[in-house]
Each structure stands twice: as structure tokens, then as C-alpha cells.
Amino acid sequence: MGKIKDVQELEAWRDRLLAAWNPEQPVVRVCSGPGCLAQGADQVAKAFKAAAKKGKFKVAPLIKETGCHGLCSKGTLVNLAPADIFYVRVQPQDVPEIVETSLVKNGVVERLLYRENGKRCRSAADIPFYRLQEKVVLKNVGDIDPLSFEDALAAGAYRSMARALTRMTPDEVIETVRLSGLRGRGGGGFPTGYKWRLAADQTRQNPGPLYIIANGEEGDPGAFMDRAIMEGDPHTVIEGMIIGAYAMGSHQGFLYVRHEYPIALHHLTIAIKQARRHGLLGRNILGTGFSFDLEIHRGAGAYVCGEETAIIASLEGRVGVPVTRPPYPAEHGLWGRPTIINNVETWANVPHIIDKGAEWYAGLGVSHSTGTKIFSLVGKVNNTGLVEVPMGTTLGRLVEEIGGGVPGQARFKAVQTGGPSGGIIPYEFKDISTGDRKLSRGELTSPDMVLETSGFPVEFESFVQAGSILGGGGMIVMDDKDCVVDLARYFLNFLGEESCGKCLPCRLGLKGMLEFLDNFAQGRGDPEDIEVLQSLAQAVMDGSLCGLGRSAPNSVLTSIRYFREEYLAHIQEHRCPAGVCRDLITYRIDQEICDGCGLCLEVCPQNCIAGRKKKPYSIDSKACTRCGSCQDVCPMDAVIVV
């Protein structure tokens, strides 16, 4: 089908697709998100396709390679509809059995079901990980084939756009977004409707082009929310941008996507081509007279290009270096014209708000942080993956109920939120009930006060109070085997490398802070150095220009605030309580546990393990580089850190 001329034609096509859909037809959804692909999802899908051709079915099954299903730690994930069976850890060799039992017959392969406390969960809805989520933006991700336009259309794509373009004025669209309470999902939490209003007013005063940009430069370690949306449901981003463009009067948009996301780039390119072919992008969209087009711009791998003025510099062809604001991009942005930059997730929220209304959206979450937020749950947690929950969900629920807690016997210690620029929030904050009060920045300072007066819900303000930021939504869970000094060192090193290097406090200050932490990690320094470090961190925060420098010391400051005793243990007792900092630990083999299997001897890169087979081995601690390989392979857990 070629260009869609008007809304009736679009709806007629959708109706045809829905009428042609046979509810009896089995659909196999193979997760092809990055996590599952790494586990061989493409081979699983291939095996299903081969089996679908050969088998004897009443109705031939449809095999879909979809976007991320979310439960990345259990990949490859396969979902069967309409039987509603959810298989985890599927390998290509399991496919014939699944086809035979569940597609030809009506059985279930018990061994491939998700197990929770010994109980097997047949459908995804039985698993707490999915049951406790509320999917709005991710509704179609994992459900539709991201490369198929028909699939997206049948799932409701472009319905909101058609409605906005034909039945709403631009001002009504902005008002709806404003009333919904949607706030920027990139971390700043700026009210989106307000920002759009600024831009619309700006073009009215100063006629000429207005540009809109989707920020898909998601560089935080351990964060993949935008990636999942762009890979799994690219049309929702495009639709959100068309609605925004219509509301603000823009005719050209850019998708700034990082080069490290090849699948997202591929899927978006195809989706844009499809939308253009069917007349949903380009001149005179759906015969309404409104014109808008989109272009993809690849980021060249600079973390700082997630900052909005750096994105503009990069799009203009300059080096990605942030410049001072004001003037804000909404007044003076790309090529000197008003420019609106929203995160990919923010754009993806827009179609749902237009579809179901501002009131429905404002009813989700808490009063000042509405809607849902996607988090990527990584680190020491059983169910690593992508989750979408209403704003205001407690951290404990996120980590312990949805995430399934920390693996093994370890204790849940803290969560690093908001990526490298965020802070460490300790376990003690996990259980507090959802607060519903708007708190001003800096109203609370000490951790005890947070405990007494507010809740600790997952939303923008409470995170700022705890000294962290919500950020893009990365959550790195730590257990008692993780050292906060080491973590702060890792993030400072990352930010030092990724800083653009313009402001001296950021370029030299991050290096200087790292010098202090390196000393601590080697057991050197004075307890007074902690105060000195805090003062330097304050100088970096005050002295830097952009958000990178201004938030870079967060991880150091919060770790000092909540885990000062751990710093003191390094400095005064020359001991790393978590057993991570190499200069402060020694590996030893427990002579009573070791059964002399010799595995450690084989992996030791220093050849510093001595002993005879069947007799306990021992480590020469002088030659040992503390790489930990022996501990990783030991089947008896005889290698201990002292």
C-alpha cells in the first residue's frame, strides 16, 4: 500500500488488519533485545522458523522477532500466544520440543518455565517481575515485530497522531501534555508541556523554523531504556515527535542516536522509511496540510553529547562541547532557532497521553511525578532487566519484589541510581512508603531527616534530596561484596574520560578527586582528607558549566554521606570491608575446605599457587596480583579474602 490519503483510509487499513487477524493462530514471540541476542536469540528464532515450515499444525504459527521482553537475565525469552506460555532460557536445541509439545499439542515444557521459590510460572502474568509492572511506554515493545509497519498499525500506532492532527488544535495538544504532568524522562524532570509552550510562544514572536530533537544518546553504563524503545517500538517515538511537531509548529526533527546502538539505528531507519512511504512523514501528512520530516543523526560516541547544548553543537557539525545557558535552546538553539530537545522516552509517552487523555496519565504515579518510568535494573540482582513502574514505587519494591533481591546469601547494600552522575542510595531507604508531598530542593540534608519526614519513592524530588538524581533510569544494585570507594573511583574515572575538558574544575577536579580516592583505596590518607575531598567536590559542582561536571561528584558525596565508616576502614584500618580494593586484601586458601582439585592452579596467571593434587593448595601472597581468578573457579569456595 502506498500513501495513506486521510484518516479514514488509515483507520480502514487498521480495521482490515484486525479483521484478518485469526485469534486461533499461534504466535511465537522470540525476544530479540540485546540481552537475548547475546544469548543466541537469533538462532532460536531461526530454529522456530524452520520448525514452523515443517511441522503439522492446524494453523501455521507466526514467528515474531520482537523487542526486549524485559527479563534479560533469563534469556532467551519466548512467549507463546494464545496459549500464554512464557519460556525462559530457551536454547536452539529446545525448539523442537517446544514446537511438538506446545504448538502441535497443548502441553507445556515444564523444565523451561520460570521458577519462583520452587513454583513454576506458566504465563508471564504469574511472575512477580511482570505482575508488579505497569507497562505504558513498553506496552508494544516485546509484542510487535519492530520491522513490520502492519504490526505497529494493528497495535494502534498513529491513532493518536491522526486524532491530534484532525481533532485537536496545537494549543489543545500542549495543554493536554501540560495537564498530564509529564516531565522530562532524561533525568532533569523539566515539565514537558511547559517547555513546549515556551517554544510555541517563541516561534510566534520570532517567526521561522523550529526544530525538535529526540535525545537517544544514552551513554550511562548499565542503562538501556531508550534503546529498548527505539529497538522494540520505533514508530511510537516517531509518532510522539509528529504530535509534538504539530503542537509547536515544527517541520523538521532530528533523532540523535548513539552510534553504539546499531539495531536501534537500523530499526529507526526502516520505521522512518515506512512512515514516509505511507505518507505519515513528509509533506501534507494524512491530507491535513501539516508537513514534518525526520532525520537520524548518529552520535560519535561522546557521553557529554547527551547534554542538550552539546547535542546542538554536534548536530551543527562542531565539537560536542556544552555552552552556557541562557539562552536556552528553546529560545536560541540549533542554527540559532528555537529548539526543543526531549528524551526518547518522553516522546514515546506522548502518543499514550493523547490517546487516553491527560487525566488518565496524571492518575498514574504520584501528584508531582506522574506517569510511569522505565528503569534498567542491573548489578547484583536476580532479575536483571528492564522494568516499567508507576512513579512513586518504592526502591525496595523495585529491587526486592520485582528484581527478586540480591543473589545468594549476600545482603542488599545500596543502589546507584542515575548512572555515573547519580548517587548511591543505601538499603535503609528501601522500605519507606510513598511520599506525596512536593519538597523543595535541598530542604532535607541529613539522611535521618529523610527517614523521618518523607518517603522514599522513586520519583524526581526524593532522589535529589538523597543527594542523587533519578537520571535516565539506570539502577545498579550493590551487595556487601561491592566497595563504595571502588565504585566511586570507577565512575570518576569514567566521567573524567568523558568530560569535554573545557572547564578546569571538571577536567582537573575529577582527576584530583580520583587521586584522593586512589590513595584511600591503597589505605593511605588521613581521616581529614574526607572533608578535604568534600570541599573539592563542592568546588567541582559549583565551578563547572554543564550537568556533567555539576553532578559528577554525586557518587563520591553520597558514598561519603552514607558509608563514611567504609571510607574510615580504608584509611585508618587499611582494610576494605567488601574485599574489593586490591591493595588492602589478601587471598588465602582455607586448608580445611580445599580438596586439592587443582583448578585454581590452572587459572592463576601468576603461577603463584603451589601444592600437590589431592592436598590443600596455598597462595604465595607476595607474587599474587589479586585478580580473583582462583576464587571464581573454586568449586569448594575455599578461596577466601582476608
Partner 1 sequence: MNPKNKPGGLIKFVIDGQKVEAGPGWSILETARHHHIHIPTLCFHPAVTPWGSCRLCVVETRYGKRSQVVASCLTRPVPELEVMTNSERVQNVRRWVLEMLLAECPASREVKDLAAQYGVTSTRFAIKDPNEECLKCGRCVAVCHEVVGVNALTFGSRGVTKQLETPHRVPNNACVGCGCCVSVCPTGALQARLDTVRGDLARRTGHGFAH
Residues that bind partner 1 (CB under 8 A): 302, 304, 319, 324, 326-327, 331, 496-505, 507-512, 515, 532, 535-536, 538-540, 542-545
Cβ proximity to partner 1: between 332 and 397 the closer is 332
> What's the closest the beta carbon of residue 143 comes to partner 1, in angstroms?
40
> Which of 395, 561, 379 has its CA nearest to residue 481?
379
Cβ proximity to partner 1: between 4 and 540 the closer is 540
Cβ proximity to partner 1: between 143 and 308 the closer is 308
> Helix, strand, or coil here: 173?
helix
**Kind and range of the H or E run holding 369:** strand 369-370
> What's the closest the beta carbon of residue 195 comes to partner 1, in angstroms?
17
> What's the closest the beta carbon of residue 500 comes to partner 1, in angstroms?
5
Cβ proximity to partner 1: between 91 and 206 the closer is 206
**Non-local CB neighbours of 588 within 8 Å, separated by 6+ positions:** 618, 619, 621, 639, 640, 641, 642
Burial per residue of 119-145, b for 16 or more beta-carbon CB atoms within 10 angstroms, e otherwise: eebbbbebbbbbeebebbbbbbbbbbb
Q: How far apart are CA 365 and CA 347, in angstroms?
A: 18
**Kind and range of the H or E run holding 448:** helix 447-453
| Residue 447, amino acid | P
Backbone dihedral angles phi then psi of residue 641, each to the nearest 5 degrees: -100, 125
Which CA distances in Å does 328 have to 49, 333, 546, 599?
Answer: 51, 7, 13, 60
Q: How far apart are CA 608 and CA 600, in angstroms?
A: 10
Burial of 611 (0-12, 13-18, 19+ CB in 10 A): middle
> Which of 103, 100, 70 has its CA nearest to residue 88?
70
In this structure, the number of other CB atoms found within 10 A of the CB of residue 466 comes to 25
Which CA distances in Å does 628 have to 250, 339, 349, 579, 587?
Answer: 56, 50, 45, 11, 8
> What's the closest the beta carbon of residue 335 comes to partner 1, in angstroms?
17
Cβ proximity to partner 1: between 66 and 544 the closer is 544
Burial of 525 (0-12, 13-18, 19+ CB in 10 A): buried
> What's the closest the beta carbon of residue 499 comes to partner 1, in angstroms?
4
Q: How far apart are CA 31 and CA 65, in angstroms?
A: 6
Cβ proximity to partner 1: between 440 and 607 the closer is 440
Cβ proximity to partner 1: between 247 and 571 the closer is 571
Cβ proximity to partner 1: between 257 and 321 the closer is 321
> What's the closest the beta carbon of residue 319 comes to partner 1, in angstroms?
8
Cβ proximity to partner 1: between 442 and 635 the closer is 442
| Residue 367, amino acid | S
Cβ proximity to partner 1: between 291 and 445 the closer is 445
> What's the closest the beta carbon of residue 536 comes to partner 1, in angstroms?
6
> What's the closest the beta carbon of residue 510 comes to partner 1, in angstroms?
7
> What's the closest the beta carbon of residue 539 comes to partner 1, in angstroms?
4
Look-up of cell digits 509534538:
244
Cβ proximity to partner 1: between 18 and 532 the closer is 532
- Contact of 593 with 566, CB cutoff 8 Å: no
- Contact of 594 with 613, CB cutoff 8 Å: no
> What's the closest the beta carbon of residue 625 comes to partner 1, in angstroms?
23
> What's the closest the beta carbon of residue 183 comes to partner 1, in angstroms?
20
